[in-house]
Each structure stands twice: as C-alpha cells, then as structure tokens.
C-alpha cells in the first residue's frame, strides 16, 4: 500500500515539476521563441517584422482585348468565386504588381457595387458583362473609402487592378476580357 502511495506521490511531484518548469521556461521567451533580454540588457537580435498581408497567388491569366479582338495587355490573376473570397477581395494588400489583379466571378449578371474598406491600394474597378465586354469602370478608387462604387450596367465579372491601369492601357467600354483559370 505504501509503495502505491509513494509511486502516486512521485507521479504528482513529477507532473508539478514539468508544469512549473514549462511555465518558467516559457516566461523567459517571447512568442517568437527568442529569449527576452533582462531589464537594462540590450538584445543583439533585430526583430523581424511580422506581416499578415495576404500574398498574391496566381490562379489564372486574363487578357484585355480591343472590340476587334486584338490583345492590349495581359495580367496574372487571383480568382474570387465564392462568398468569402468575394468579401475579402484585395483587402489588406499593401502592394501588387501592375500586371496582377483579381477577377471576381458571380453566378449571374446584375448591377454590382464595391467599396474600398480595409483596402490599402487605390484600384481601378472594371465591370464586365456576361459576354465578357467591359461595361463600366470606377477609376482610382480611394483606399479605405466606404463609398459605394457601383457598375453603370449589369456585370457578371469584376476585375480589380492597380489605379492607373485603365488609362495606361487606354481601355474603353466595349473592349473585352478573356481569362483562363489554372
């Protein structure tokens, strides 16, 4: 009987030591696993910035064409084709190459409206109908704005690119897009 009590006592003491040891060790480290300097001490390590910025992930290619079918330019695209991706869009992005963008694909053609809440980059928002023809564009949408930026005509697709893209490539209503998802 005493042997069982002794073993149980040793197990309890062992668990307590593990718990206390874990607490002591974890209190010496910050969340990155780097020991924190003692008060008055300086650290020789430079902290790396932590970024929660979404990174571009190519999910296809998109071409802008004249009304006669001539290629104007091409972008790599991310695709937003579900509620979560459509809601997220390009929010929290701090940079994007001029030849990158996001294509929003909706199940139907309807009037659309976007806003720039939590969007750091000024964007050109291009509304495209079910026949892949550009119907309208909101140029240089202001970052962080909660102003509604509606399409002038029904759209099935919306393309977001960096502000200035529309003017740089002299895009026009009636021009087309063609895209391929990877």
Closest CA to 72 of 182, 168, 137: 168
Q: How far apart are CA 104 and CA 106, in angstroms?
A: 7
Q: How far apart are CA 34 and CA 37, in angstroms?
A: 9
Q: How far apart are CA 152 and CA 173, in angstroms?
A: 11
In this structure, which topology does domain 60-181 adopt according to CATH?
A: Jelly Rolls (2.60.120)
* Per-block mean pLDDT, blocks of 10 residues, the chain (182 long): 51 45 40 42 44 90 97 98 96 96 98 97 98 98 98 98 98 98 96
Specify the pLDDT at position 46: 44
Residue whose token pair is 């309890």: 12
Q: How many residues does the chain have?
A: 182
List phi, psi (to 5°) of 151.
-80, 150
Specify the pLDDT at position 139: 98
* 38, two tokens: 């003692």
The helix/strand count (H/E) of the chain reads as 3, 9
Specify the pLDDT at position 131: 98
The answer to whether 36 and 28 are in contact (CB under 8 A) is yes
**Domain segments of the chain as ranges:** 1-50, 60-181
List phi, psi (to 5°) of 9.
-65, -40
């Amino acid at each position: 009987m005493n042997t069982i009590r002794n073993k149980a006592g040793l197990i309890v003491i062992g668990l307590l030591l593990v718990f206390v040891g874990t607490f002591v060790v974890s209190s010496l480290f910050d969340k990155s696993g780097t020991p924190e300097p003692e008060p008055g001490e300086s650290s020789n390590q430079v902290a790396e910035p932590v970024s929660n910025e979404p990174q571009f992930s190519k999910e296809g290619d998109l071409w802008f064409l004249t009304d006669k079918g001539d290629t104007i330019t091409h972008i790599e695209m991310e695709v937003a084709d579900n509620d979560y991706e459509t809601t997220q869009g390009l929010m929290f992005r701090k940079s994007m190459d001029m030849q990158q963008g996001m294509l929003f694909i909706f199940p139907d053609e309807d009037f659309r409206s976007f806003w720039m809440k939590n969007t750091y980059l000024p964007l050109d928002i291009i509304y495209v109908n079910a026949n892949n023809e550009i119907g309208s564009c909101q140029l240089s949408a202001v970052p962080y704005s909660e102003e509604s930026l509606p399409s002038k005509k029904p759209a099935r697709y919306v393309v977001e690119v960096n502000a200035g893209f529309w003017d740089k490539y002299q895009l026009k209503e009636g021009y087309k897009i063609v895209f391929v998802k990877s």
